[in-house]
A and B are shown apart, each in its own frame.
Chain A
Amino acid sequence: MSEARIVEKRKLGEDYIYFVLREPVIASLASPGQFVMVKAGEGWDPLLRRPLGILWAEDEHFALLFKVVGRGTGILRNLDCGNWLDVIGPLGNSFSWNDNGPFLLIAGGRGLVPIYFLAHALFKRSLPFVFCVGFKVKEELDLLQLLEGKNWNVAVACEEKDEKVFCGTVLDVARMQLRQNSFSKIYVCGPHDLLHSMAVDAEFAGLPIEASFEALMGCGYGLCLSCVLRKKSGEGYFHICKEGPVIALEEVSW
């Protein structure tokens, strides 16, 4: 458990908040795909911590990006630079790579968070990748500010028409990339429906896919067994906080 100090805050679009936090231990341990459990407010309502993916980590700092969706994130939105966050982490597993790519990275909406961290790590190691990112509404395009100045190969889609970007889903642009280039592996994070579409789409079937799953979590460290995902082989469930959040897409039962 740590107290992390907010050193930078930005509002991106209507609903997204970006925090840079100073907490050297978490910053030094965090890997792409991992998350932290954040206490929203000081009392007992809301009760549970919120799982938030780590956007990047470097030296003594790490960043969070979250969408304001309910009471907990609503409280977090009101915090400002100089405030402290009660944080547990880093938690969960991380993305793995055992070849030199090129890799196809797919991020849907707030699924951008772990994929962005992965892109950082790959870029640092000079490993090639294409970063596909897609949004449902134009407003979310404000998140592209995070990609400014990055020397990454980025393909953007938005389901709402906007003259600056491709109109369609992130999977549409990902399919285009698959047809034009060869990749050794795919990494994805996004809504459950997006992951489901990929799991049943023959076009994605030929490559290994590592997916980062989101879930409601009671604790984030394997006590409550609430964040489960049915396994394809054998019986039982993956516990997303412990055996995930990164899980091979082909191992999940839909």
Chain B
Amino acid sequence: MVDLSVRVGDLRLKNPVVLASGTCGYGRELAKFINLKMVGAITVKGLSMEPWQGNPPPRIHEVYAGILNSIGLENKGLESFLREDLPFFETIETPLFVNIWGKNVKEYVLLARNLDAVERVTAIELNLSCPNVEKGGVSFALQEKVFEELVGRVRHSFTRKIIVKLGPQIFDLEKAIQILEREGIDFVSATNSFPGLAVNVDEQRFVFSRKVAGFSGPAIKPLALKLVYDIVSVTRLPVIGMGGIVCWRDALEFLLIGARAIGLGTVNLIYPDAAQRILKGIEEYLDQKGISSLEAIIGKVR
């Protein structure tokens, strides 16, 4: 029997598969297809204080081996989540990560404080790629001072685990990591989708109303893998690696370069049972290699 459990800091997950934010809804949507008890952790869709409508259609565009999305962070808001969805999670033991976002630092802090009172929440994950309305709509990840203030203030507002989700657009990766370590952030997750663009040639216009959209899917895996490799190189913080993972081989690439867990995103849209398929593949791989514990291969390729 292969031991698939992993240590992510001082958190032990029964296996390395984390369902990534924005691709597993609020849990129940996926529960029709898989038993959510069998994943390492689940990250529910990015929540804001108030319900948020998101962007007008079109919101999705398929490209070669990937998709561009412009959902615009649509979500039901914290209160509805706590009322409608949290009771469902009380019925399963799987660690629950809640992704949060705000339009300013105050909103993040408010969300963190509110969720601190909800014991079922194992960790909060900060999405920093949304626009900071108080700073001219530039993302929180692009301004060192705001980034530092945000991370520090959320740390003081939430007593359990905090994950910071880093994307490819960051003011300075090494400096950002130093701030996370200094402020006592627990884990890093990487990466978010990449900024991408698509043009409708027939109508000679941009596909999306906001022009730029988030690029995800297998096409971004080498880019995500490089980013995770770089992050692992500069920190001892545990990293949850994600970006374009669609099969067990992809998952193992991230683990071999040092990610301590892996996030499944876009693949959940195509195979709602992807977590199950990938875990089975990892288990068979380890079994064939005669390796009894997944921990033994984490970071083996550096």
Interface residues in chain A, defined as those with a beta carbon under 8 Å from any beta carbon in chain B:
1, 39, 44-49, 88, 215-219, 221-230, 235-237
Contact = CB atoms under 8 A, between A and B. Distances in A.
Given A223-B268, A237-B53, A216 B58 contact: yes
A224 B65 contact: no
Nearest to B29: A222
A218 B25 contact: no
B54 A225 contact: yes
Nearest to B19: A223
A229 B57 contact: yes
B117 interface: no
Interface in B19-44: 22-25, 29-30, 32-33
Nearest to B216: A47
Contacts of A230: 56
B197 interface: no
Nearest to A231: B53
Nearest to B76: A236
Contact of B67 (A47, A228, A237): A47
A39 B22 CA distance: 21
A224 B269 contact: yes
Contacts of B113: none
Given A224-B71, A226-B69, A88 B59 contact: no
Contacts of A219: 268-270, 272
Given A48-B270, A219-B270, A224-B71, 19 more contacts: A1-B33, A1-B271, A1-B272, A44-B246, A45-B65, A47-B218, A88-B272, A215-B57, A218-B69, A219-B268, A223-B23, A223-B269, A224-B23, A224-B69, A224-B269, A226-B58, A226-B69, A226-B71, A236-B53
Nearest to A86: B271
A1 B32 CA distance: 10
Contacts, number: 86
Given A44-B218, A216-B60, A237-B54, A49 B270 contact: yes
Contacts of A1: 33, 271-273
What does DSSP make chain A's interface, helix, strand, loop or mixed?
loop
Contacts of B69: 218, 224, 226
Nearest to A239: B74
Interface of B: 22-25, 29-30, 32-33, 51, 53-54, 56-62, 64-67, 69, 71, 74, 217-218, 246, 266, 268-273
Contacts of A88: 272
29 contacts: A1-B33, A44-B217, A45-B65, A47-B218, A47-B270, A48-B62, A48-B270, A88-B272, A216-B58, A218-B60, A219-B268, A219-B272, A221-B32, A221-B33, A223-B23, A223-B24, A223-B268, A224-B23, A224-B60, A224-B69, A224-B71, A225-B59, A225-B74, A226-B69, A226-B71, A227-B60, A228-B56, A228-B59, A236-B51
B269 to A, nearest CB: 4
A228 B56 CA distance: 8
Kindly name the residue among A1, A39, A218 whose own CB sees the greatest number of chain B CB atoms within 10 A. Answer: A218
B23 A44 contact: no
Nearest to A37: B270
Contacts of B62: 46-48, 216
B25 A222 contact: yes
Nearest to B221: A44
B59 A226 contact: yes
Nearest to A216: B60
Nearest to A48: B62
Query: 5 shortest A-B CB distances, which residue pairs?
Result: A226-B60, A219-B269, A45-B65, A226-B59, A222-B29
Contacts of B29: 221-223
Contacts of A235: 53
Contacts of A236: 51, 53
Contacts of B61: 216
Contacts of A228: 54, 56-57, 59
Contact of A47 (B53, B58, B65): B65
A45 B32 contact: no
Nearest to B28: A222
B23 A47 contact: no
A227 B59 CA distance: 7
A223 B25 contact: yes
Nearest to B33: A1
Contacts of B74: 225, 237
Contacts of A227: 57, 59-60
Contacts of B60: 216-218, 224, 226-227
